[in-house]
Amino acid sequence: MKISLRLIPLILLLAGCQSHMQRVADCKVGDWHAIGHKDGVMGEPASYAQRKDFCDDHADKPAAGDAAARYNAGWAQGNWDAWQALGSNDGVQGAQAQFDKHANSEETRKHKTPLNRPAYDAGWAEGNSRYWQNIGSRDGASGLPLTRKEASRDNAAAAQLRFDDAAYTDGWRAGNRTFWADAGYTDARNGTPDSEFRNRAAAARRAGVDIQEESYRTAWNAEIVNYWRNLGTQDATSGKEFGQRGREARARGLKIHEQEYRQAWEARLTEYWRQTGAEDGNGQPYQLEQRMANASRAGVFVIAATRDAYTNAWRQENARYCTPDNAFERGRTNVGMAVEVCAPAIQNQLKHAYVSGQDFEIAAAKYRDAVVAANDLASRLRDARGRLARLEREMRAGQESKDQPREEAAKQYRRREQERRELLDYLQGLERQFDDARLWADRHEQQMQRLRREIY
C-alpha cells in the first residue's frame, strides 16, 4: 500500500495523539508501577520526574507518596523484560548470543536504552533451551532414537552454540510419545488391528527407539471407535451392513464396536430417507413404496425410521412447493410446475398463479420498453425545449439590434418565426408521445401489481 507523503505528518500526529491519550489515561489510573513498566519495556530511560510533571498537569489527583519507588520498580522490571525478550528470541532461533549487536543498534541509541546484559543472558539461555527442546521433540516425533542427540551435540559444537542436553532429552521424550500416539491413531483410523503394535515395537527395537505401548494403545482405543462410526456411515449408502463387517473384523482380529457402527449406520440412513423425501417433495409424487422396493438396487436399506423420515420430509417440501407464490415464480421463469402432485383443492389456484406469473413477465417486458421509450422522449423534449429557448433569445436580440438593415432583419425574423412554429409543433407531438408512453408504463405497472395480487 502506498501512502502519500502529505499523509505522513497526519499519521505521525495521530500516533502521537494516541500515545498522549494513553499516557493521560495511565495518569488518571495512577498505577505508577505500570507507568514505569511501560517506559522500561519501550526501551526508555527511567524518567520519573518527567512523568510526574506530565501527570500533575493531566491527573485529577497528585501522585502518591510512594509513586517514585513504584515507578522505579516497574521500570526496572520493564527494562528486564525487554532485554530478556530480545535474548529469548535469539536463543529460540538457534542463534548465538548477540547482546553487543543489540546494544549498538540504532533503536537502542535512538531511545538511549539502558543496557541489561544479565536480563539478555537469562532470556537467551531460556530461548536456547527451548530451541533444543524443539529439536528433540521433532526428532522424537519422527521416530528417531535418542542417540540422535549426539549428532545435535556435534552440530552445536561446530556452530560454537551451547547445547542443552536436558532440554533436548525432555523434548525427545515428548516427541517419542507423540510418535507412538500418532502410530496408534493411524492404525485405528485405517482399521488395522492393535496387534500391529508388536510389529511396530520390533522395528523400534531394531532402530534403538524407545517403545511407548501406553501411548500407542490409548490413541488406538480412542480412534477405533471413530473408525467404526465412519464405516457405518459409509456402508449405509453403499449396500453393506454390520453382519459382513463383523465377520471381516473377526477374521482380522480387529476389535468390534457394534453399537457405534449401528448408530452411525442408522443415522446416515435416516438422513438419506429424509433427503430423498425432500427431493421428491419438490415436484415429484409421493413414491415411498417404489423407493423402498428399489432400495437394494440403490445400495441402501429400509429401516424402522424410513417411513417417517421420508413422509415428513416429503410433506414439508410438498407444502412449500404447492404454494401460489412458488407457482407464480415458476411461471415467471417459465420453469414447469407439476400441479398434479398438489392437493386437488388448490390445483386450479396454482394453475392460475402459474399463468399469472407468465403474464407478469410479459407485462414486465412491456413496462420496461415503455419506460425506455418515455426516458428517450423526455431526453428529446429537453433538447427541443433548449433549442426553442435559444431561438427565442436570438429573435429578441435581432429585434433589438440596430446594426442589421431593416429588410434583412425582417427576412431573418420571418425565417426564425417559421422555425419556431415548426419547433412548437414538434414539441406538441413529442409531449403527446411522452404522455402516451408514461400512460402505457403506468398501465403495465398496474397490470403487474394486479397479476401479483390476484394469485390468492
Placement of cell 433549442 in the chain = 387
Q: How far apart are CA 204 and CA 211, in angstroms?
A: 7
**Amino acid found at 124:** W
Residue length of the chain: 456
Q: How far apart are CA 370 and CA 332, in angstroms?
A: 19
Q: Distance of CA 271 to CAs 66, 251, 274, 417, Å?
A: 70, 31, 5, 84
**Are the C-beta atoms of 224 and 193 separated by less than 8 Å?**
no
Burial of 37: CB neighbours in 10 Å, binned 0-12, 13-18, 19+: buried
Helices and strands counted in the chain (H then E): 18, 0
**Are the C-beta atoms of 83 and 120 separated by less than 8 Å?**
yes
Q: How far apart are CA 180 and CA 218, in angstroms?
A: 10
Rounded to the nearest angstrom, the gap between the alpha carbon of residue 13 and the centroid of all alpha carbons in its chain is 34
Which residues lie closer than 8 Å to 347 by C-beta, 6 or more apart?
A: 339, 340
Q: How far apart are CA 350 and CA 83, in angstroms?
A: 79
Q: How far apart are CA 84 and CA 42, in angstroms?
A: 13
pLDDT of residue 18: 43
pLDDT of residue 8: 32
C-alpha cell at 142: 519422527
Q: How far apart are CA 79 and CA 69, in angstroms?
A: 15
pLDDT of residue 452: 92
**Are the C-beta atoms of 232 and 262 separated by less than 8 Å?**
yes
**Amino acid found at 226:** N
pLDDT of residue 404: 66
Q: Distance of CA 317 to CAs 269, 332, 345, Å?
A: 19, 21, 18
Q: How far apart are CA 96 and CA 163, in angstroms?
A: 11
SS3 297: coil
Concatenated DSSP letters for 181-204? HHHHHHHHHTT--TTHHHHHHHHH
Number of Cβ within a 10 Å radius of residue 455: 20
Q: Distance of CA 179 to CAs 169, 204, 219, 265, Å?
A: 15, 11, 11, 32
Of 124, 126, 41, 125, the C-alpha closest to 82 is 41
Dihedral sign (CA 29, 33, 35, 41): negative
Q: How far apart are CA 407 and CA 398, in angstroms?
A: 12
pLDDT of residue 45: 94
Q: What is the pLDDT along the chain (456 residues), one digit of tens a residue?
A: 343 334 334 333 333 444 778 888 888 888 899 999 999 999 999 999 998 888 888 877 777 778 899 999 999 999 999 999 999 999 999 999 999 999 999 999 999 999 999 999 999 999 999 999 999 999 999 999 999 999 999 999 999 999 999 999 999 999 999 999 999 999 999 999 999 999 999 999 999 999 999 999 999 999 999 999 999 999 999 999 999 999 999 999 999 999 999 999 999 999 999 999 999 999 999 999 999 999 999 999 999 999 999 999 999 999 999 999 999 999 999 999 999 999 999 999 999 999 999 999 999 999 999 999 999 999 999 999 999 999 888 888 776 666 667 777 778 878 888 888 999 999 999 999 999 999 999 999 999 999 999 998
172-187 burial code (b ≥16 CB/10 A, e <16):
bbebbbbbbbebbbeb
C-alpha cell at 398: 435581432
Placement of cell 526496572 in the chain = 76
